[in-house]
Each structure stands twice: as C-alpha cells, then as structure tokens.
Amino acid sequence: MSTTDNTRQNNTVKIGTFACVRCGLTVSAFAADGTRRNHCPSCLHSRHIVDHTDDSPGDCQARMTPIAIAVTRGGDWMVIHRCVRCDELTANPICADDNQLILMRMAVRPLAQPPFPLEVFGDL
C-alpha cells in the first residue's frame, strides 16, 4: 500500500468514527442504513458541536444528554438532547441500531413518572 493510500485510509478512519463522550465506545459516523449519526447508539449521548447561543459564539463541546423522545408529524422518532453546559436543546433523528431499551424507557417515562399524583384520578 502506498503512503497516499495509507494516509487516505487513516483519515477515513478518523473522520468516519468518533468516541462517545459518555461511555467511550468507538462509534461509526454512519448508521447501518447509511444515514449520518451524531450520537452513540449504545447510550444515546452526543457532543455539543454547534452552539447557537448569543453568550458563547464558539463550539460548546460539552456532553449532550438524551432527555426525551419526540415524534414528528411524519411519524419519525427524534431524540431530544440537552447540553450539560449551556442547556441548549436539540432534536436528532434516531437510527435503526440505537439502543431500543433506552429509547422505550424515555418514551414511557411520562407515563411511568407523571408530574402529578395518580391518586387524584380515583377521586374523580
């Protein structure tokens, strides 16, 4: 293999993967179906790359924690992330190989832990 081919291969590896900011897993930047991913399929955490707040115009680089699931009008599931440093929220599409247990736990959390006491329904 020539030096040029070796350099291309090394750059592809560097660009094509990233290390999860929470669990350290080496993650492919592309999901199995070829779509681009920006979060870990195991723990669903991400890194805050683009910061849109007026206070800090640069990249935040902090960990983005998955906090909820949203469903678009088209039926696509999105992971809602919150930055641990600046509290910015983002929505990112789920990938086919994302951890289904974590996705379901986030989806049913509002039903399992409602923000009000369920006992009031017995009085109605």
Tally of structural domains, the chain: 1
The whole model's pTM is what?
Answer: 0.72
In this prediction, residue 77 carries a pLDDT of: 93
**Structural domain includes residue 119:** no
> At 61, is the pLDDT very low, low, confident or very high (cuts 50, 70, 90)?
confident
**Structural domain includes residue 117:** no
pLDDT tens digit string along 16-59?
888 888 888 888 888 888 888 889 999 999 988 865 555 555 66
**Structural domain includes residue 62:** yes
**Structural domain includes residue 118:** no
**Structural domain includes residue 36:** yes
**Structural domain includes residue 124:** no
Structural domain harbouring 26: 3-110
**Structural domain includes residue 26:** yes
**Structural domain includes residue 31:** yes
Tokens of 113: 């832990």
